[in-house]
A = this chain, B = another copy of it.
Amino acid sequence: MPNRNIKHLFIPESIAIIGASCEKGKIGHEILKNVIEYGYKGKIYPINIKEKEIMGLKAYKSVLDVRGDIDMAVIVVPAKFVPSVLLECGKKGVKAVAIISSGFSEIGNKNEEEVLVNTAKAYGISLLGPNIFGVIYTPTRLNASFGPRDVIPGDIACITQSGALGAALIGWTVLENIGLSAVVSVGNKADVDDSDLLEYFSRDKNTKGIVVYMEGVKEGRKFLQTAERVSKKKLIVIIKSGRSEKGAKAAASHTGSLAGSDKVFSAAFKQSGILRADTMEKAFDWARICSLPAPEGEGAVILTNGGGVGVLATDACDKERIKLLDDHKYLEETFRPYMPVFGSARNPIDITGQATVEDYFNAFKKAMESDKISALIVLNCETAAFDTVEFSEKVIKYFHSLPGWSKKPVVFNFIGGIKSKNAMDILNKNKIPAYPQPERAVNSLGALYKWRKYTKTEKKQIKKLDIDKEKIYSIINKAREEGRLQLLEHESKDILKACGLDLPKYKLATTIEEALKAAEKIGYPIVLKIVSEDIIHKSDIGGVKVGIKNAKELKNAYKEIMYRAKKSYPKANIRGILVNEMVEKGVEIIVGCSEDPQFGPVIMFGLGGIYVEVLKDVAFRVAPIDKEDALDMIDDIKSYPLLYGVRGEKRKDINSLAENISLLSYFSHEIPEIVEMDVNPLIVLEEGCKIVDVRMTLKEV
């Protein structure tokens, strides 16, 4: 637990600024100034080898010269001095250190950075950075950064890998009235990383939502597992840049972080309840809903004074899959009293531009109190007569009157000028999400639905396989002894069988007699396949024969396969011919397992043939996954309707497919020796699935 001291980055009782400076414009000056002026209440010790006093505070040559305890230090001295001042921090017993200084791994100086980490570990220091713009925690009025001084206190924590962007965003949050609990620049993540911070904020009662700007992650799996837990309690939104190939390259050259496959990132985020935003605007829009309760049941209501904006919101609800309540009788009874005759009580509820503040508020209150309405979207087109600010104030008063705040999620959108902006500002300041565009309001409510769906899902136990590891490793070791990384078909199948997976019958035959005997036992029709580590593309050289109906056909096929194999590959080491049970027709599926540089074992799935190869219609997950996740994964691909049975075919056994994907993911996670597995095809039948062919590759040692 290297980061037990992380809390001292946020709630230190005393802080030293090492490299504090009298000179305006210097980072050491700006940080000290921010610490003082933002209102930090603890002790502040400027450290400077020359000065006696800085900004009215007594300055010290070294932290070792300070009499009292120092909880946290901020280091802003040039890179070459950092190791020694950090060491002094260790000796002084400083618990947490934020290293602003750059000049480490981000420009290739990896050893210099490792030295810092070693010192931090030796003294139990939680080390943030290096190469950061600082750390801000509003509940303790701590602004130890050279970013803007003024930060609006609130309940969103912001973690950023880009210092420049983070500092710039603070100013933007002020304009947008976004309240923050913390801003943490993580820089090179030498010690304290995203996982540590998520862990910390998950227990921080001042933080309800976490926004992360990320270019790469060092320990993907650790991050994933942490996020999985944390997002059950707090909303996590991530902007992961480098989505495109060019963007990933730019990110790599910028921070030296490995971008990894973007599809895997998306899958990992989804699995751990993280919402992935593609823009900062969206990220903070979504973060605003972190205080809202989960919707109970379905059936949202749109309340509006303008038909047009109601239609736009309806379109947006459809896109977000938010169902609108359509019990017209109920809606008519509920809302008719608050509108003129030409108003519409069909959802969207249009109480028209004639509605007074009283009408609007009463309709709003009625909706809030209705058991049938699970979520509320309140829109308003600015008119001269309507006092939007007064309406907002009434809404806030109502929220405060509720025991334990609102039990129902509600979002607002006021379209208009300064009056609308003011009305939205006061809502947002009171943690009631309001947006200048109807789509942003609905999209954010959609984010709440997604997140709350995750928090409600119970993590199912992954069905464990009864794996005969001894058997598996005997096969693996045999291949290793023979210097092979590629397993033979029957070896791969033996391994899956040793995991308890159900496969069609097969037997390796080395003579025609053995083949006949095997076929007799399996039952015709059968499939013959050549087995040789030297022949990869079996079909291409005529090494596969399907639909063999009897002994006579078998003999001919056997001879022909052998003849062709030897002709194409005279030097091949032929192990024999695999006699396989013939599987009936169904939908062909490809399942692949491989090793992702960030996340370790991942599983890929798609429909066989053109769907994977040409249309690239595939879904990823970090392994292992349970059956529910596998069903979700199946739902991710566009060609999934083919599994429902098309052109008169019956529906395929999607349940069994999901079970198989889950088992294969579990297997690939449990046997790290096998770094790659291609199940191609797996055939989904009306009942059950059959793994027809599988290839496995061992890890290089």
- Chain A residues in contact with chain B, CB under 8 A? 25, 30, 107, 146, 148, 160-165, 167-172, 174-175, 213, 215, 239, 241-247, 250-251, 253-255, 278-281, 305-312, 314-315, 317-319, 324, 342, 344, 346, 348, 350, 353, 380-385, 415-421, 436-437, 439-440, 609-610, 613-615, 638-639, 641-642, 646-647
Contacts and interface: CB of A to CB of B under 8 A. Distances in A.
A243 B315 CA distance: 6
Contact of A437 (B254, B279, B385, B420): B279
Contact of A175 (B172, B417, B646): B417
A170 to B, nearest CB: 7
Contact of A247 (B311, B381, B639, B646): B311
Top 6 A-B pairs, shortest CB-CB distance: A171-B417, A162-B308, A164-B306, A244-B318, A254-B307, A168-B381
B107 A342 contact: yes
A650 B587 CA distance: 25
B416 A171 contact: yes
A281 B613 CA distance: 38
A306 to B, nearest CB: 3
A610 B642 contact: yes
B642 A306 contact: no
Q: Which of A107, A244, A311, A440 has the most CB of B within 10 A?
A: A311
Contacts of A239: 312
B418 A246 contact: no
A609 to B, nearest CB: 8
Q: Which of A168, A215, A255, A385 has the most CB of B within 10 A?
A: A168
A315 B244 contact: yes
Given A244-B314, A638-B615, A174 B646 contact: no
A338 to B, nearest CB: 17
B382 A415 contact: no
B253 A309 contact: no
Nearest to A243: B315
Given A165-B381, A167-B381, A281-B436, 18 more contacts: A25-B385, A148-B384, A162-B308, A164-B306, A164-B383, A165-B306, A168-B309, A171-B417, A171-B420, A174-B417, A215-B311, A241-B311, A241-B315, A243-B318, A244-B314, A244-B317, A254-B308, A614-B642
Contacts of A437: 279-281
B165 A319 contact: no
A280 B163 CA distance: 32
B246 A318 contact: yes
A308 B241 contact: yes
B171 A646 contact: no
Contact of A306 (B162, B305, B436): B162
Given A384-B146, A385-B25, A170 B417 contact: yes
A147 to B, nearest CB: 8
B382 A167 contact: yes
